[in-house]
Chain A
Amino acid sequence: MKMVLKKVCVVACAMVCLIGLSGNAAIADDVLKMATTTSTDNTGLLDYLAPVFKADTGIELQWVAVGTGKALALGGNCDVDVLLVHAPAAEMTYVQEGSGIDRTELMYNDFVFIGPPSDPAGVKGTSVKDALGVIASKKASFASRGDNSGTHQKELELWEHAQLAVPDKETWYIQTGQGMMNTINIAAERDAYTLTDRGTYIKYESNWKGKAPLVILVEGDASLRNQYSAIAVNPQKCSNVKYDLAKRFIAWMASDKTQKLIADFELMGKQLFIPNAK
């Protein structure tokens, strides 16, 4: 018994060491670290583009999917090399203060208001302004990202446009602090309305194979446009960043070939992002 135990221990230790060491060997040189919004990850767009990027350039793209606010903060701390985000106003400030350079617009889609098909507040087909007004006056549940992400910033902007105070402490206003797909799921569980980018919603719809518990209720307003851009972290501010790789990534994203790939990215026969690099 003692012998068996000893053997087991030796084998276990050997395995542990082997696995530990093999991990160190696997670190590649050309790794580009990106912070991005949850929508590019949740929809599967990056899973679809990263292998092509690797084949074309030999660079391995690694990304953390956080809200745009956090992504900008990660860039500000020099913890990533490049950003793929969607909050134009915040991005401009970010570039102006010298944290980022080479901001390049790459693609867009739009935001939509989704909610339960029964539409308890009756917002279907109304304008954004009216929809928010009705939701607030009827105290219908509304799920907010609440994480300073691009979508959250857009939502705050929409409340402001509608000349309504952000219902920060109202019980019907659910601030999830989580990614877009998580927030949609929370909204579905709570029978709430929420604002989402169309890409993540299409992905959600396809997860449910067309029988999604939340449907699009308000769309098409000019204020709902959702622009995605890439920004390189400024090497003058962060000497550690791999600016050359970031530059190649941005150029690759804006190339005709990749723009076509983005246009071809579909779920349930629906296009998720419309390329618009100049």
Chain B
Amino acid sequence: MDYIAQGFIRSIELLLSGDHETYSAIFTTLRISSLSIIASLIIGIPFGFLLGYFEFPGKRQVRAVVDTLLALPTVVVGLFVYAFISRRGPCGELGILFTISGIAVAQTILITPIVISLTATAVESLDRRLRATLVALGARGRQILITSLMEARYAVLVAAVTAYGRAISEVGISMMIGGNIKWHTRTITTAIALETGKGDFAVGMALGIVLLTFALVVNSSLTLLKKRS
């Protein structure tokens, strides 16, 4: 039992002393999840809007597919992205296997459905009269998009925060695509997996504390945003 307490004490020491290895993993995680959240918002919000705003044949089927992708397993995304970006694969020329960009690409695939689905729901739940009013006032294409999204902004933020939470906490993609390279692609979650395997609990716990703190921040902002929306 002793080693758990000792590990906990050392983990606090590691965090307070600014241990390079620990902070390298933290910054790598933030960097990757930031890249992937930006990309997924750029792709996901317009698609989510289209899906929520317009009525078209097959809409329910598309919606069902997107909702299914919410439960996309990280290892499956890892597997496919790995096969595509390996130099032997179709996108091999990019040379992004075992790089931060590679992980960000795969995470974007993982979390974009979350952004699309939640944005679509947000736009759908807007007052139907808003659309009529906007059109009557002479709003066109982009103006409708921006005004509708502004009306649904809190719900869209909920989508972004949910997606971000998924990105920082996943381990399968980071391990498979990143290769857990020290100082480079080692993230909080892959470092925890590695250190636990090696039997070194202190570093794992230090990173676990950080990850829990992130989760807490993400969740409390979610609660706050949901109240607003």
Q: Report which A residues bind B (CB closer than 8 A).
A: 5, 8-9, 16-17, 19-20, 22-23, 27, 33, 42, 47, 62-66, 77-80, 178-179, 181-182, 185, 207, 238, 240
B31 proximal to A (CB < 8 A): yes
CB-nearest residue of chain B to A65: B180
The answer to whether B98 touches A64, judged by C-beta atoms less than 8 angstroms apart, is yes
B38 proximal to A (CB < 8 A): yes
Q: Report which B residues bind A (CB closer than 8 A).
A: 27, 30-32, 34-35, 37-38, 86-88, 92-93, 95, 97-100, 157, 179-184, 197-200, 221, 224, 228
Q: Which of B38, B180, B182, B200 contacts A17 (CB 8 A)?
A: B38
- Complex contacts, B180 vs chain A, CB 8 Å: 64-65
- Complex contacts, B37 vs chain A, CB 8 Å: 16
Distance A63 CA – B179 CA, assembled complex (angstroms) = 8
- Complex contacts, B87 vs chain A, CB 8 Å: 77-79, 238, 240
Known interface pairs A62-B98, A62-B181, A240-B87. Does A181 touch B31 (Cβ–Cβ under 8 Å)?
no
Distance A207 CA – B197 CA, assembled complex (angstroms) = 13
- Complex contacts, B99 vs chain A, CB 8 Å: 27
The answer to whether B199 touches A19, judged by C-beta atoms less than 8 angstroms apart, is no
The answer to whether B198 touches A16, judged by C-beta atoms less than 8 angstroms apart, is no
The answer to whether A185 touches B197, judged by C-beta atoms less than 8 angstroms apart, is yes
Q: Which of A20, A33, A42 contacts B31 (CB 8 A)?
A: A20
- Complex contacts, B98 vs chain A, CB 8 Å: 33, 62, 64, 79-80
Distance A63 CA – B221 CA, assembled complex (angstroms) = 38
CB-nearest residue of chain B to A63: B181
The answer to whether A79 touches B86, judged by C-beta atoms less than 8 angstroms apart, is yes
The answer to whether B224 touches A5, judged by C-beta atoms less than 8 angstroms apart, is yes
Distance A179 CA – B179 CA, assembled complex (angstroms) = 13
